[in-house]
Amino acid sequence: TKMWRKLGAWYWLATQNIDDLPKAAEPMLNMIEWWLCLSMPPDEVEKIARFRELNPAQKALMLSARKEAGKYSEGVILSKSMEVLFRAVPPSLYLALAQTEPEEKAERFQVMQQYGIGELDAAFRIAERIDRARGIQSLALDALALKGAA
């Protein structure tokens, strides 16, 4: 990370599990200036506390972050200058394209079989379903197909 600073760049590291990082990464983790943490269980908060001093209010903020599958994810940004709880609400199409759970893949496959379409078109249809569940109007599939052809 020191080299990145000298080059005027930011080093971004992302992981779903701090335990995935080798022991040699500890000095680097101790130098992180900005922590962007999505909702996590208490044991993950404690693992972060090994690399960044967390006061009780910061721990409580981290533990307050929630996730509602298919709707939103909350997280916390911690730096010297800010402590913020945020909510990310990705567009339905992004959610549909990112589905990797076995039941999500099965649903996409079922849509593909039902309509005789490919994976991308199935994702568009699933995005429409997500939009309807959110109570918002989705772009028509025909409009999306015309945009893609242009």
pLDDT per residue as tens digits for the range 14-47:
888 888 888 888 888 888 888 999 999 999 999 9
Q: Is the pLDDT assigned to residue 1 strictly greater than 90?
A: no
Q: Tell me the pairing of strands 72-78 and 35-38.
A: antiparallel
pLDDT per residue as tens digits for the range 66-99:
999 878 999 999 999 999 999 999 999 999 999 9
Q: Is the pLDDT assigned to residue 148 strictly greater than 60?
A: no
What pLDDT, on the 0 to 100 scale, is given for residue 71? 85
Q: Which of 111, 114, 112, 71 shows the shortest CA–CA distance to 89?
A: 71
Measured N-to-C along each axis, helices 141-149 and 119-134 cross at an angle, to the nearest 10 degrees, of 140
Q: Which two tokens stand for residue 60?
A: 């409580």
What's the pTM value of the predicted model, to 2 decimals? 0.74
Q: Residue 142's pLDDT band (boundaries 50, 70, 90)?
A: low
What pLDDT, on the 0 to 100 scale, is given for residue 146? 46
What pLDDT, on the 0 to 100 scale, is given for residue 141? 58
H-run or E-run covering 122: helix 119-134
